[in-house]
């Protein structure tokens, strides 16, 4: 058990604590240490098995007492008194008596050196036959030298210095201590007198200890060392300032951010506030993020000024970095400073930089001064304006930009000295050169001395003008300082010229083109005052007007001996467009037509009666200035006489099957015959018309007996037509024959001469979207008016209306019913696909209607087209005592027949066309139709009979249907009754 106590360090520590407890209980002096022999050390009594114990410290104890006091107690059940001796390090002490179970205290008289010692108690008793007994050997260490702390320094001992500032709220303290005896030492830590913790330190080794979390404050740290012998040692007090809050800096330059200065080492005002430190707060300047080389230590909440090192001109961002003694750092907000120590520069008052020149004459009492200045640092520059030494204004100018400033109202006729003083934002001053202005607002006066009278008309394209310019004020007479410009119609004529004051000027003006012009002279003085002369009006016209004849077209042939001439006069000047004179000449002589017309207006004039001949028409026109011109000669042929004709045949006696040679000719001495309009036909006894190829040809189809009619029609270029007819009879061989010739006749018999009439009308143009009306005045032609609506414009339309008593040659099918007139409308340009609609007004004599037993309501206009006769929609319009007027709607213009409406269904269907050999003559009499029910004007005449026939047929059918069902019903009824 004794060896176990020696080896067990943990038990030793436990007994060590128990010894501390006994020490406190018995109030042992601080310089003594009890050594008890405990009853655990038992010596067995040989005789009566008595127990002897010595109370002592645990084996291997450490003490700091060099003469420790021992407490000895021997307990035994066999004896009462004992002798004992104490052996220290094997050396006995004198003997002492001790009573059983009674504690005695024994001090070692010899001073023990620091080190390890052993103690043994030997005792005996006469009652026990003086047998010597030994207690167990106790080893202990004596150490009365405390540990030694090294100073808090930056040496090898540690890095923590006294009076240190730190931002670490759990700072690490570095400490070192030495002990002469023990390796491991117990260290307690106290912060400002309060226990903070403990740790085991190794002898002569740097130890590190983190304090518990501290608030920002100044603390005092003490370390207390306790070696195994209970020797205590304390460090000196370590003062630490704990501060983990960064200081705050406010910076300014002249108290304003974005300050401009001319100081190249500007002073920055810094104020630092720190929650802990009052002094030694570092401030360092950074310019545009770079260290500027300037710093200082500042007291808390105190304004200090730091000057930067020299900087160039420019704009800089200034920041101050502040650091407290604990190392807490923070940057201030940046302030912007523009450094500029260079004054602005005024450019000269010249046209390159503005419109104001030195020594200028002006008329504006609030003149605008233009200037320019440049600055190396600032865009906006304030300047002061002085007028003749008096302050006037302080506007703001833009760097290198033309500035404008208007002066306040200035008195007239005075010289002014203008000075500009610039002050940039950094306070650099600059002055412009003096600008001298002379103010005058009077206008120069221009008097025109010689020029054509106002409102003059002239044929000259150049004019001379004489004028004078005067101007009062600071200009002397004759000084060449006045500028004049001549304007024609607002455009400068020639170049501007400088002339002397109150001087007469003569100038030649050119380019007076045809037209009305406005002329004036403008004068400008050196101050820019403008004066204009009176405006003169002059009309120049050196070009004669001309006439254009639009109708009739050149080389026209006409039967109208008083033709209408349509012409337009064109003049280059509009000043007198309504007073253009014209005179019409026919064949070089005035035709009696003289008048006034307007420019660009179509004029219509009918010529006086012309002879049948070819004529040259010219129109002479003159304007207000008597510029005269003749139109190009226009040819027109007027003729009212029909061409002369001859017609004959041979042989004189014709037998069936003989060839008949037809001879014919035509002549016209004025317009000439139009061979393309001539026509030679033979009408056979059966009514079939055969067209021959021309005069001098043979007609061979004479096999049918009867009368043959030869018709020769020819027209001149004026539209006059002539028709000659003759007849011959084809006889059986041995029979007699007869022939006749001449003109005129009806439709009853082939031998009756045919009567014809024609009318040609020439129209300048047919225009779309309106009716184009052509009126006919011939008494022999039933058509009185033709109205045509077309889709596209047609120019120079020639319409020829031909009336015949028999069907034209191209008609291959006989018309049913009685015919009043055949009328053919010939035209060269009006195509059916261009005609949107057409109407015609025609008349029928009441005598013909009565003679042929045709009711006025039963008259219809029929059109022959594509081998078929078709009734046109015909309406009775008006009637007089002798004539009845009708209107009919037409799809086109071709061959028409005015006649009787045939109220039969068969008449509405195209009839089969018979051959030439079998067709019945058209002269066969027709059965007169029954009179029709009259209709009022405006009702279709031909449709009335047809409608009555349809109504009658429908009524008969209805009666038959009713009768059928009535008979059927009767039979059914009878059958039911029988049942």
3-state secondary structure 432-460: CCCEEEEECCCCCEEEEEECCCCCEEECC
What integer pLDDT is reported at residue 17 of this predicted model? 46
Considering the domain architecture, whether residues 82 and 32 belong to the same structural domain is answered as yes
Dihedral of alpha carbons 686, 691, 692, 695, sign: positive
The C-alpha atoms of residue 140 and residue 118 are separated, in whole angstroms, by: 6
What integer pLDDT is reported at residue 845 of this predicted model? 95
Q: Are 391 and 385 in contact (CB under 8 A)?
A: yes
In eight-state DSSP terms, residue 939 is: S
Residues 6+ apart with CB under 8 A from 851: none
The C-alpha atoms of residue 421 and residue 429 are separated, in whole angstroms, by: 7
Q: Which of 339, 367, 396 is the last residue of a domain?
A: 339
| 394 has pLDDT over 60 | yes
Residue 951 within a domain: no
Q: Which of 482, 516, 540 is the last residue of a domain?
A: 540
Q: Are 688 and 703 in contact (CB under 8 A)?
A: no
Q: Are 897 and 822 in contact (CB under 8 A)?
A: yes
| Number of domains forming the structure of the chain | 8
Cα distances (angstroms) measured from residue 23 to each of 59, 115, 224: 17, 22, 21
As a whole number, mean pLDDT of residues 370-380 equals: 80
What would the two tokens of residue 58 be? 């645990």
Higher pLDDT, 414 or 885: 885
What integer pLDDT is reported at residue 952 of this predicted model? 62
What integer pLDDT is reported at residue 105 of this predicted model? 84
Residue 286 within a domain: yes
pTM over 0.95: no
Query: pLDDT tens digit string along 571-591?
Result: 876 555 668 899 999 999 998
| 401 has pLDDT over 70 | yes
| 725 has pLDDT over 80 | yes
Q: How many CA atoms lie within 13 A of 612 on its CB side?
A: 15
As a whole number, mean pLDDT of residues 47-60 equals: 41
Quickly state the pLDDT bin for 937 (edges 50, 70, 90). very low
Considering the domain architecture, whether residues 709 and 849 belong to the same structural domain is answered as no
Considering the domain architecture, whether residues 778 and 912 belong to the same structural domain is answered as yes
Ramachandran bin of 192, using left for φ above 0, alpha for ψ from -120 to 50, beta for the remaining angles = left
| 876 has pLDDT over 90 | yes
Residue with tokens 């060269």: 828
CA–centroid distance for 292 within its chain: 54
* pLDDT averaged over every residue in the chain: 79
User: Strand pairing partners for 117?
Assistant: 140
The C-alpha atoms of residue 796 and residue 770 are separated, in whole angstroms, by: 17
Q: Are 705 and 732 in contact (CB under 8 A)?
A: yes
Q: Are 577 and 514 in contact (CB under 8 A)?
A: no
| 930 has pLDDT over 80 | no
What residue spans of 817-891 are helical by DSSP H? 846-851
What integer pLDDT is reported at residue 473 of this predicted model? 67
What does the DSSP assignment read for 489-550? TTEE-S--EEEETTEEEEEEE----SEEEEEEEEEE-TT--EEE---EEEEE--S--EEEEE
Considering the domain architecture, whether residues 405 and 462 belong to the same structural domain is answered as no
Neighbours of 670 (CB within 10 A): 19
Residue 971 within a domain: no
| 297 has pLDDT over 50 | yes
What integer pLDDT is reported at residue 11 of this predicted model? 43
The C-alpha atoms of residue 217 and residue 588 are separated, in whole angstroms, by: 137
HEC string for 846-874: HHHHHHCCCCHHHEEEEEEECCEEEECEE
| 757 has pLDDT over 70 | yes
Average the pLDDT over each of 448-452, 703-707, 953-957 and give the range with the smallest value: 953-957
Quickly state the pLDDT bin for 49 (edges 50, 70, 90). very low
What integer pLDDT is reported at residue 332 of this predicted model? 84
Residue 809 within a domain: yes
What integer pLDDT is reported at residue 616 of this predicted model? 95
CATH of the domain at 766: 2.60.220
Considering the domain architecture, whether residues 135 and 171 belong to the same structural domain is answered as no
Considering the domain architecture, whether residues 233 and 304 belong to the same structural domain is answered as no
Q: Are 133 and 52 in contact (CB under 8 A)?
A: yes
What integer pLDDT is reported at residue 883 of this predicted model? 94
Quickly state the pLDDT bin for 20 (edges 50, 70, 90). very low
Q: Are 842 and 886 in contact (CB under 8 A)?
A: yes
Average the pLDDT over each of 138-142, 565-569, 684-688 and give the range with the smallest value: 138-142
CATH of the domain at 221: 2.60.40.10
What integer pLDDT is reported at residue 151 of this predicted model? 66
The C-alpha atoms of residue 890 and residue 872 are separated, in whole angstroms, by: 7
CA–centroid distance for 195 within its chain: 83
User: Strand pairing partners for 522?
Assistant: 485, 532
- Among 369-378, 775-784, 917-926, the range of highest mean pLDDT: 775-784
What integer pLDDT is reported at residue 551 of this predicted model? 92
Higher pLDDT, 511 or 891: 891
Quickly state the pLDDT bin for 190 (edges 50, 70, 90). very high
What integer pLDDT is reported at residue 168 of this predicted model? 87
| 523 has pLDDT over 80 | yes
Residue 373 within a domain: yes
Considering the domain architecture, whether residues 811 and 871 belong to the same structural domain is answered as yes
Higher pLDDT, 60 or 943: 60
The C-alpha atoms of residue 308 and residue 295 are separated, in whole angstroms, by: 9
The C-alpha atoms of residue 398 and residue 419 are separated, in whole angstroms, by: 18
Considering the domain architecture, whether residues 729 and 778 belong to the same structural domain is answered as no
By residue range, what is the domain housing residue 224? 148-242
Q: Are 162 and 177 in contact (CB under 8 A)?
A: no
- Among 7-21, 150-164, 862-876, the range of highest mean pLDDT: 862-876
What would the two tokens of residue 965 be? 């069902």
Considering the domain architecture, whether residues 729 and 767 belong to the same structural domain is answered as no
**Burial class of residue 134 in the structure, from the number of CB atoms within 10 Å of its CB (0-12 exposed, 13-18 middle, 19+ buried):** middle
In eight-state DSSP terms, residue 922 is: T
- Among 32-41, 253-262, 305-314, 674-683, the range of highest mean pLDDT: 674-683
| 201 has pLDDT over 80 | yes
What integer pLDDT is reported at residue 839 of this predicted model? 95
As a whole number, mean pLDDT of residues 334-353 equals: 75
Cα distances (angstroms) measured from residue 99 to each of 29, 82, 505: 25, 6, 168
Average the pLDDT over each of 58-72, 397-411, 846-860, 880-894 and give the range with the smallest value: 58-72
Residue with tokens 């050169």: 433
Q: Are strands 69-74 and 34-36 parallel, antiparallel or unpaired?
A: parallel
The values of phi and psi at residue 855, to 5°, are -65, 150
| 30 has pLDDT over 50 | no
* Bond prior to 552 in cis (omega within 30° of 0): yes
Residue with tokens 């201590």: 177
Average the pLDDT over each of 189-203, 242-256, 309-323 and give the range with the smallest value: 242-256
What would the two tokens of residue 304 be? 């200090």
| 150 has pLDDT over 90 | no
- Percent pLDDT > 70 in the chain is 80
Cα distances (angstroms) measured from residue 746 to each of 278, 467, 754, 822: 150, 92, 6, 12
Measured at the CA of 333, the angle between CA 329 and CA 337, to 5 degrees, comes to 125
Residue 970 within a domain: no
Quickly state the pLDDT bin for 508 (edges 50, 70, 90). confident
What integer pLDDT is reported at residue 95 of this predicted model? 84
The C-alpha atoms of residue 252 and residue 229 are separated, in whole angstroms, by: 65
What integer pLDDT is reported at residue 907 of this predicted model? 42
Considering the domain architecture, whether residues 23 and 52 belong to the same structural domain is answered as yes
Residue 967 within a domain: no
| 318 has pLDDT over 60 | yes
Quickly state the pLDDT bin for 949 (edges 50, 70, 90). low
| 262 has pLDDT over 90 | no
What integer pLDDT is reported at residue 143 of this predicted model? 85
Residues 6+ apart with CB under 8 A from 415: 436, 437, 438, 439
Q: Which of 339, 365, 393 is the last residue of a domain?
A: 339
Considering the domain architecture, whether residues 512 and 610 belong to the same structural domain is answered as no
Higher pLDDT, 730 or 906: 730
What does the DSSP assignment read for 234-275? EPPPEEEEE--SPPEEEEESTT-SSEEES-SSPEEEEEEE-S
What does the DSSP assignment read for 624-681? TT--EEEPPPEEEEE--SPPEEEEEEE-SSEETT--EEEEEEEE-SSS-EEEEEEEEE
Query: pLDDT tens digit string along 448-502?
Result: 988 887 767 777 778 889 999 888 766 554 456 788 999 988 888 888 888 888 8
Residue 581 within a domain: yes
What integer pLDDT is reported at residue 864 of this predicted model? 95
Q: How many CA atoms lie within 13 A of 127 on its CB side?
A: 14
| 705 has pLDDT over 80 | yes
- Among 3-17, 658-672, 723-737, the range of highest mean pLDDT: 658-672
Considering the domain architecture, whether residues 762 and 735 belong to the same structural domain is answered as no
Q: Which residues of 59-88 are buried (b: 16+ CB within 10 A; e: fewer)?
A: bbbbbbbbebbbbbbbebebbeebebebbb
What integer pLDDT is reported at residue 41 of this predicted model? 31
Residue with tokens 């406005």: 518
Query: pLDDT tens digit string along 84-135?
Result: 888 998 899 888 888 888 888 888 888 888 888 888 888 887 777 777 888 8
As a whole number, mean pLDDT of residues 185-202 equals: 92
What integer pLDDT is reported at residue 141 of this predicted model? 86
Quickly state the pLDDT bin for 75 (edges 50, 70, 90). confident
């Amino acid at each position: 058990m004794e060896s176990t106590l020696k080896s067990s360090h943990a038990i030793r520590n436990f007994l060590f604590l128990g010894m501390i407890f006994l020490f406190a209980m018995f109030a042992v002096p601080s310089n003594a240490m009890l050594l008890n022999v405990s009853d655990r050390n038992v010596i067995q009594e040989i005789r009566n098995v008595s127990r002897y114990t010595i109370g002592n410290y645990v084996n291997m104890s450490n003490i700091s007492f060099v003469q420790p006091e021992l407490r000895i107690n021997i307990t035994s059940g066999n004896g009462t008194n004992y002798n004992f001796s104490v052996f220290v390090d094997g050396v006995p002490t004198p003997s002492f008596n001790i009573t059983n179970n009674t504690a005695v205290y024994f001090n070692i008289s010899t001073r023990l050196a620091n080190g390890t010692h052993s103690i043994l108690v030997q005792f005996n008793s006469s009652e026990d036959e003086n047998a010597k007994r030994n207690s167990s050997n106790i080893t202990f260490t004596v150490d009365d030298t405390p540990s030694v702390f090294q100073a808090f320094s930056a040496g090898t001992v540690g890095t923590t210095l006294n009076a240190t500032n730190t931002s670490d709220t759990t700072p690490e303290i570095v400490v070192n201590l030495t002990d002469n005896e023990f390796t491991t030492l117990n260290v307690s830590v106290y912060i400002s007198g309060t226990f903070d913790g403990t740790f085991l330190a190794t002898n002569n080794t740097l130890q590190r200890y983190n304090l518990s979390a501290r608030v920002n404050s100044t603390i005092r740290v003490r370390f207390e060392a306790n070696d195994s012998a209970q020797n205590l040692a304390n460090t000196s007090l370590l003062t630490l300032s704990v501060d983990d809050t960064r200081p705050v800096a406010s910076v300014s330059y002249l108290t304003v951010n974005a300050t401009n200065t001319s100081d190249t080492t500007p002073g920055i005002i810094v104020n630092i506030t720190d929650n802990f430190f009052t002094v030694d707060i570092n401030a360092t300047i950074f310019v545009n993020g770079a260290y500027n080389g300037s710093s200082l230590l500042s007291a808390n909440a105190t304004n200090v000024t730091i000057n930067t090192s020299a900087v160039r001109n420019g704009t800089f961002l200034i920041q101050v970095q502040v650091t407290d003694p604990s190392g807490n750092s923070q940057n201030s907000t940046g302030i912007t400073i523009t450094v500029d120590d260079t004054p602005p520069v005024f450019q000269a008052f010249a046209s390159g930089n503005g419109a104001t020149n030195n020594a200028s004459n002006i008329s504006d009492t609030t003149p605008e001064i233009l200037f320019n200045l440049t600055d190396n640092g600032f865009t906006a520059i304030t300047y002061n304006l002085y007028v003749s030494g008096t302050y006037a204004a302080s506007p703001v100018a833009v760097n290198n930009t033309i500035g404008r400033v208007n002066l306040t109202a200035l008195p007239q006729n005075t010289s002014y000295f203008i000075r500009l003083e610039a002050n940039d934002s950094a306070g650099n001053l600059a002055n412009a050169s003096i600008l001298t202005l002379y103010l005058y607002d009077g206008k120069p006066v221009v008097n025109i001395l010689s020029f054509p009278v106002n409102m003059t008309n002239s044929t000259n394209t150049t004019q001379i003008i004489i004028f004078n310019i005067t101007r009062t004020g600071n200009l002397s007479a004759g000084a060449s300082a006045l500028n004049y410009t001549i304007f024609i119609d607002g455009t400068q004529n020639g170049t501007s010229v400088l002339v002397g004051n109150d001087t007469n000027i003569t100038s030649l003006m050119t380019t007076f083109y045809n037209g009305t012009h406005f002329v004036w002279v403008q004068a400008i003085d050196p101050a820019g005052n403008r004066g204009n002369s009176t405006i003169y009006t002059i009309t120049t016209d050196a070009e004669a007007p001309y006439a254009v004849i639009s109708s009739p077209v050149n080389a026209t042939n006409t039967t109208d001996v008083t033709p209408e001439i349509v012409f337009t006069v064109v003049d280059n000047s509009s000043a007198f467009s309504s007073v253009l004179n014209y005179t019409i000449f026919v064949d070089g002589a005035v035709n009696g037509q003289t008048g006034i017309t307007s420019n660009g207006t179509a004029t219509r004039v009918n010529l006086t009666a012309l002879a049948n001949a070819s004529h040259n028409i010219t129109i002479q026109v003159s304007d207000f200035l008597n510029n005269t011109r003749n139109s190009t000669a226009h040819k027109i042929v007027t003729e009212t006489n029909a061409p002369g004709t001859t017609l004959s045949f041979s042989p004189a006696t014709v037998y069936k099957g003989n060839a008949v040679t037809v001879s014919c000719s035509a002549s016209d001495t004025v317009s000439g015959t139009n061979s393309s309009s001539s026509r030679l036909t033979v009408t056979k006894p059966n009514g079939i018309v055969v067209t021959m190829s021309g005069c001098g040809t043979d007609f061979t189809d004479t096999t049918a007996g009867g009368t043959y009619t030869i018709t020769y029609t020819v027209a001149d270029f004026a539209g006059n037509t002539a028709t000659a007819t003759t007849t011959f009879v084809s006889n059986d061989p041995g029979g007699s024959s007869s022939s006749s010739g001449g003109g005129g006749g009806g439709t009853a018999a082939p031998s009756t001469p045919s009567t014809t009439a024609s009318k040609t009308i020439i129209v300048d143009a047919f225009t779309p979207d309106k009716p184009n009306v052509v009126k006919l005045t011939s008494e022999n032609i039933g058509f009185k008016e033709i109205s045509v609506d077309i889709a596209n414009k047609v120019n120079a339309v020639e319409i020829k209306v031909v009336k015949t008593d028999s069907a034209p040659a191209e008609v291959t099918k006989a018309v049913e019913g009685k015919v009043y007139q055949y009328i053919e409308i010939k035209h060269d340009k009006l195509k059916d696909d261009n005609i949107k609609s057409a109407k015609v007004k025609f008349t029928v004599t009441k005598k013909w209607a009565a003679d042929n037993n045709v009711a006025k309501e039963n008259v219809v206009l029929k059109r022959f087209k594509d081998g078929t006769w078709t009734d046109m929609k015909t309406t009775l319009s008006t009637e007089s005592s002798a004539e009845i007027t009708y209107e009919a709607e037409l799809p086109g213009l071709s061959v028409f027949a005015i006649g009787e409406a045939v109220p039969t269904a068969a008449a509405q269907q195209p009839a089969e066309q018979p051959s030439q050999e079998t067709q019945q003559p058209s002269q066969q009499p027709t059965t007169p139709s029954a009179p029709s029910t009259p209709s009022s004007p405006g009702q279709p005449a031909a449709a009335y009979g047809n409608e009555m026939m349809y109504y009658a047929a429908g009524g008969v059918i209805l009666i038959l249907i009713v009768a059928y069902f009535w008979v059927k019903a009767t039979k059914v009824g009878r059958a039911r009754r029988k049942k």
